Amino acid sequence: MSHPVLELRKVTFRRQGNQILHGIDLTVRAGEHWALLGPNGAGKSTILGFCGAQSHPTSGTVDVLGRRLGRVDLQELRRVIGHVNPRHALRSPLTAVEVVLTGLTGTVEQPLRWAPSAEQQELARSLLADVGLAGRVNASWMTMSQGERGRTLIARALVSRPRLLLLDEPTTGLDVAAREQLLETIGALARSEPGLASVLVTHHLEELPVSTSHALVISHGRTVASGPVSGAVNTRTISQAFEHPIRVERERGRWSARSEWREDRDTSGVPDVGDEETGAA
- Sorting pLDDT into bands at 50, 70 and 90, what band is 79? confident
Share of the chain above pLDDT 70, in %: 92
In the chain, what's the furthest Cα-to-Cα distance?
A: 72
Alpha-carbon distance 130 to 189, whole Å?
10
Number of domains present in the structure of the chain? 2
- Is there a domain that residue 265 lies in? no
| 224 lies in the same domain as 183 | yes
- Is there a domain that residue 24 lies in? yes
State the pLDDT at residue 261: 64
| 193 lies in the same domain as 224 | yes
Alpha-carbon distance 146 to 246, whole Å?
30
CATH number where 216 lies: 3.40.50.300
As a whole number, the mean pLDDT across the chain is 89
State the pLDDT at residue 262: 55
Domain boundary, last residue among 142, 158, 174: 158
The single-letter code of the amino acid at 5 is: V
| Predicted TM-score of the model (pTM) | 0.87
| 66 lies in the same domain as 136 | no
Averaged pLDDT, 181-190: 92
| 44 lies in the same domain as 174 | yes
pLDDT, one tens digit per residue, over 125-175 is 999 999 999 999 999 999 999 899 999 999 999 999 999 999 999 998 889
| 70 lies in the same domain as 167 | yes
Averaged pLDDT, 84-100: 90
Domain boundary, last residue among 201, 217, 232: 232
Share of the chain above pLDDT 90, in %: 72
Query: 219 has which bridge partners?
Result: 222
- Is there a domain that residue 262 lies in? no
Q: What angle do CA 1, 167, 208 make, to 5 degrees?
A: 80
State the pLDDT at residue 255: 94
- Is there a domain that residue 106 lies in? yes
**The dihedral sign for the CA sequence 273, 279, 280, 281:** positive
| 76 lies in the same domain as 105 | no
Among candidate residues 165, 160, 224, 220, the one with its CA nearest the CA of residue 190 = 165
| 3 lies in the same domain as 72 | yes
| 20 lies in the same domain as 154 | no
| 13 lies in the same domain as 54 | yes
Q: How far is CA 186 from CA 119, 145, 153, 197, 218, in A?
A: 24, 18, 11, 12, 23
- Is there a domain that residue 271 lies in? no
| 33 lies in the same domain as 148 | no
| 211 lies in the same domain as 166 | yes
- Is there a domain that residue 40 lies in? yes
- Is there a domain that residue 181 lies in? yes
Domain boundary, last residue among 158, 192, 212: 158
Given a cut of 70, whether residue 264 has pLDDT beyond it is no
| Domain that includes residue 173, residue range | 1-80+162-232
Give CA 78 to chain center in angstroms. Answer: 16
| 174 lies in the same domain as 151 | no
- Is there a domain that residue 278 lies in? no
- Sorting pLDDT into bands at 50, 70 and 90, what band is 277? very low
